[in-house]
Amino acid sequence: MSRYLLIPIFLLSLAGCSAEPDKPSESLADASDDSVPEHAKKHMDPKYVCPMHPQIIKDEPGSCPICGMDLVPKMIDPNTGKHPAVSVKGEIIQSMGLRTEAVSKDTLWRFIRTVGRVDYNETKLIHLHPRAAGWMESLVIRSEGEQVRKGDKLGAFYSPEILSAQVDFFVALEQSGSSRSNRVENARNRLRILGIDEAIIRQLEESRETRNALPVFAPGDGIVTMLGAREGMYLKPDMEMMTIADLSSVWVMVDVYEHQIGWLREGLTAEISVPAWPGKSWEGKVDYIYPELDLKSRTLRVRLEFPNPDMNLKPNMFAEVKIYGGPQHDALLIPAEALIRTGERDTVVTSLGDGRFQPVDVVVGARSNGKVEILSGLNEGDEIVTSGQFLIDSESSLQASFQRMTGE
């Protein structure tokens, strides 16, 4: 049966071979005078695209349904590859507002601009606790926010343990013999351990009289930020009387993006300004760089320290921050607006001349003050597009997709 089926197929093949071949659309002589783009343009179905929306492609002239602009013929370029070149007519270049700039080497001033929050300098916080259980007989400080100086009397505290230590001190003072000095010194050290001021110990030694309530003095300058004691209150060593914060120096906590931390180091100069004091700035330094990034924001926490002699910087103030990292000489730089970031690649559109453009993948380095360092992908003097490059990159990606689908 299969033998008989082969006969019609063979006859059809002969008929196909005997048929007259299709007539070429032009002579060989005419085709030899065409350039590659001209020849491709003649033998490709015409397509019309929107200059502003390259995804709009039609088979005939018309207007863009999005912006209403007239569709223009899609130009053909013989180059193929990952990022095909795109040809754009002169009038389209003008309507798209394309601008180019040459890649050049210059000094990149490492510079970070961010925001932060003023906070207490935790190394200058004083936490007052009683060294023995007792009662707050009197209190000079009445509320949080009061300013104190070193040596100011904060209140008076009575403790049976401190009273007993006074008695032991007086007994040692009354003794005689070779061991007297050791006993006196041990009794004096016990009073010191219980938090009794040296001036009070000298007064006790001179008067030889016990004092039920002994004064409590401020160990340093600052603002009372927490008041945990009240008159007549019973306090134990694990209870905090008050906290005193010295605001002569403050911290500013900032978050720095991951790509900016490569040159960040402790000791760099920093500058802040706050809305409360327009036109005024404070100069400080990077005090500490925390060891891990925030999992959600992908930022690194950095602590800055600033002198605050006039007390104008208040905790929880909002601050605009600048961190200076010094110069990087002979860096290959491009404007930041010329860089196209997709999340998968960094791309710059180069100008090849005669209305032809081609996207190029690049590796970027440091960024600062509107400039981006290029580590590879470009050379000094290359002409790049700084405005309108997104449309060209979209068109090139579209052409690459067509090439992958057609196998070209």
Show me where the domains of the chain are located. 42-74, 86-106+329-406, 111-121+247-328, 125-245
Rounded-to-integer distance, Cα 114 and Cα 133, Å: 48
Rounded-to-integer distance, Cα 339 and Cα 348, Å: 5
Query: Could you report how far apart the first and last alpha carbons of the chain are, in Å?
Result: 43
Class of domain 86-106+329-406: mainly beta
Whether the domain at 86-106+329-406 and the domain at 125-245 fall into the same CATH topology: no
**Is-contact 165 191, C-beta < 8 A?**
yes
Q: What are phi and psi of 232, to 5 degrees?
A: 80, 0
pLDDT tens for the 408 residues of the chain, in order? 444 443 343 333 333 444 444 455 555 555 556 554 455 445 555 567 776 676 677 878 888 888 888 887 665 444 443 466 777 767 766 667 778 889 999 888 878 889 999 999 999 999 999 999 999 999 999 999 999 999 999 999 999 999 999 999 999 999 887 888 899 999 999 999 999 999 999 999 999 999 999 999 999 999 999 999 999 999 999 999 999 999 999 999 999 998 888 888 999 999 999 999 999 999 999 999 999 999 999 999 999 999 999 999 999 999 999 999 877 788 899 998 888 887 778 888 888 888 888 888 899 887 777 888 899 999 999 999 888 766 665 655 655 554 444 444
The superfamily CATH assigns to domain 111-121+247-328 is Efflux pump adaptor protein, beta barrel domain (2.40.30.170)
Which amino acid type is present at position 124? K
Rounded-to-integer distance, Cα 333 and Cα 241, Å: 58
pTM of the complete model: 0.61
Query: Which tokens hold the place of 57?
Result: 């492609």
Residue found under tokens 């700035």: 281
**Selection from 379, 382, 377, 349 nearest residue 364 by Cα:** 377
Percent of the chain beyond pLDDT 70? Answer: 78
Query: Which tokens hold the place of 148?
Result: 């104190």
125-245, CATH topology level: OB fold (Dihydrolipoamide Acetyltransferase, E2P) (2.40.50)
**DSSP structural state of residue 134:** E
**Selection from 328, 307, 405 nearest residue 372 by Cα:** 328
